[in-house]
């Protein structure tokens, strides 16, 4: 499967914390419309890489660009404004609000209507509010939580709360979504549903990069996999190649993963 245009480009990125090398000379790209997984054992540098790509950490060396724009030195909100949106390992929902209201709050944060317009109930504010409510309903349905829309977010299972986190990320209208261990804590059924959601998000034109430990899930959903070990890329390629790579098996996956 060929991807003509490059969305994300990581060039010779290194990160050092004092004498510790967290990432060393990392080079890879993600094509427009591609699903790429970044895998590796704990401490391999995956979350550090995500933090560099999204402006939470400056690289010691090298650069990251998105759709031709250099991201070095940009703040997280500036990178988000370019369409590069991430989820976090720990999902932050408002537990005492409904799922629908959680989405409405997320959408209001991106609203363009001024406070005084909203207070005065001006027509532009009213039509904007209507659009936001329609969009909140769409997003709840999109991530498969339609039947839980009016339940308190705190009453949802951990897996369902992760879906609220994805819906909040989608509220920001990303052109690229970075998912940090999205199926952590999900059961097999929830994971299967989430894989379908990822494919659906990609089919709507969103590029996806994910960090994940669930190997069967990674193998089933990825177009390409990048393997990190001790801050270095040790392998890169489609799932079939990675599954059978002896260096990867030795470093991380274990013999059983070849059958995953």
Residue among 48, 12, 8 nearest 27 (CA): 12
Mark whether 32 and 132 lie in a shared domain. no
- Both 197 and 81 in one domain: the answer is yes
Q: Is residue 161 part of a domain?
A: no
Residue at which a domain ends, from 110, 126, 155: 155
pLDDT single digits (tens) 40-80: 888 888 989 999 999 999 999 999 999 999 999 999 989 99
Q: Do 146 and 242 sit in the same domain of this protein?
A: no
Structure tokens at 59: 């690289």
pLDDT exceeds 70 at position 130: yes
pLDDT in tens, 78-99: 999 999 999 876 667 888 889 9
What CATH code is carried by the domain that includes residue 44?
Answer: 3.40.50.300
Using pLDDT thresholds of 50, 70 and 90, give the confidence band for residue 114: very low
Q: Note whether residue 67 is domain-resident.
A: yes
Residues 82, 134: one domain?
no
Question: Do 64 and 23 belong together in one domain?
Answer: yes
Q: In the chain, pLDDT over 90 holds for what percent of residues?
A: 53
Residues 108 and 81 in one domain: no
63: in domain: yes
Is residue 241 in a domain?
Answer: yes
* pLDDT at 249 (0 to 100): 84
Domain count across the chain: 2
What does the pLDDT read at residue 258? 43
* 167 in a structural domain: no
**Residue 164: inside a domain:** no
> What is the pTM (predicted TM-score) of this model?
0.85
**pLDDT tier at 121 (50, 70, 90 boundaries)?**
low
Q: Are residues 102 and 40 in the same domain?
A: no
Domain co-membership, 82 together with 183: yes
Q: Is residue 165 part of a domain?
A: no
| In-domain check, residue 32 | yes
What is the phi/psi pair of residue 227, to 5°? -110, 125
pLDDT in tens, 230-243: 899 999 999 999 99
Co-location of 184 and 243 in the same domain = yes
| 233 and 190, same domain (yes or no) | yes
pLDDT of residue 255: 44
Q: Is the pLDDT of residue 143 over 60?
A: yes
* 83 and 99 belong to one structural domain: no
Domain interval for residue 150:
94-155
Let me know whether 180 and 255 are in one domain: yes
- Asked if the model's pLDDT at residue 144 lies above 50, the reply is yes
Q: Of 89-103, 168-182, 188-202, 231-245, which gets the smallest average pLDDT?
A: 89-103
């Amino acid at each position: 499967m060929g991807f003509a245009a490059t969305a994300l480009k990581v060039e010779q990125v290194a990160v050092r914390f004092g004498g510790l090398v967290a990432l060393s000379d990392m080079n890879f790209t993600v094509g427009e419309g591609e699903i790429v997984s970044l895998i590796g054992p704990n401490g391999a540098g995956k979350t550090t890489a995500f933090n560099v790509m999204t402006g939470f950490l400056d690289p010691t060396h090298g650069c990251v660009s998105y759709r031709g724009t250099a991201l070095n030195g940009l703040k997280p909100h500036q990178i988000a404004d370019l369409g590069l949106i991430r989820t976090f390992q720990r999902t932050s929902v408002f537990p005492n609000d409904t799922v629908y209201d959680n989405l409405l709050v997320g959408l209001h944060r991106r609203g363009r209507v001024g406070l005084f317009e909203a207070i005065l109930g001006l027509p532009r504010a009213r039509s904007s509010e209507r659009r936001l409510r329609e969009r909140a309903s769409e997003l709840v349905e999109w991530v498969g939580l339609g039947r839980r829309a009016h339940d308190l977010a705190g009453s949802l299972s951990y897996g369902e709360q992760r879906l609220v986190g994805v819906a909040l990320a989608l509220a920001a209208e990303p052109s690229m979504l970075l998912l940090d261990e999205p199926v952590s804590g999900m059961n097999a059924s929830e994971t299967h549903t989430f894989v379908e959601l990822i494919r659906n998000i990609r089919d709507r034109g969103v590029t996806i990069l994910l960090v994940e430990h669930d190997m069967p899930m990674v193998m089933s959903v990825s177009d390409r996999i990048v393997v990190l070990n001790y801050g270095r890329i040790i392998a890169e390629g489609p799932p079939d190649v990675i599954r059978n790579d002896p260096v990867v098996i030795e470093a991380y996956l274990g013999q059983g993963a070849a059958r995953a």
